[in-house]
Amino acid sequence: MSQPYDDQNVFAKILRGEMPCYKLYEDDETFAFMDIMPRADGHCLVIPKKPSRNILDVDPDSLAAVMRTVQKLSRAVVKAFSADGITVQQFNERAGGQVVFHLHVHVLPRHEGVSLRPHTGEMADKASLESNAEKIRAALA
């Protein structure tokens, strides 16, 4: 059974402007920004603006909006990083690997023969995050 939504999670705070992020894209229903612990250059996240813990409780229309934005960001990161492919990941509940309990979808540009970096919990440096964000924003334009 899914747990209740906690409006103090880090992504809810980002949506309210209480925490900073490297914003990439926003529309009426979704928000996209850089993952600050990237497993690949250009690793970004797409979240719904409506509160939802994960795929188990998200409104279907909100989920559809998230996936439209995932596709838009996927095309942008392929262009921005000359990627050979994309990995899209989405985790649900602690047992499923979810760490932040606001629905989010990972978009990771991939290159042939290059493994994902391990999830170390260490933040990337601000200069590389901003540089990668600029590349994605330019590809979205």
- The whole-number pLDDT of residue 2 equals 61
pLDDT in tens, 96-135: 999 999 999 999 999 999 999 998 878 999 999 999 999 9
Q: Please tell me whether residue 45 adopts helix, strand or coil conformation.
A: strand
- The whole-number pLDDT of residue 122 equals 85
pLDDT in tens, 48-79: 999 999 999 999 999 999 999 999 999 999 99
**The dihedral of CA 29, 22, 36, 84: what is its sign?**
positive
Buried-state track 17-36, b at ≥16 Cβ within 10 A, e below 16: eeeebbebbeeebbbbbbbb
Q: CA 93 to CA 77: how far, in whole Å?
A: 27
Q: 119 an active-site residue?
A: no
Q: Of 102, 104, 106, 119, which is the active-site residue? A: 104
pLDDT in tens, 25-45: 999 999 999 999 999 999 999
Domains annotated for the chain, with CATH where assigned, are: 10-111+122-140 (3.30.428.10)
Q: CA 13 to CA 2: how far, in whole Å?
A: 21
pTM passes above 0.75: yes
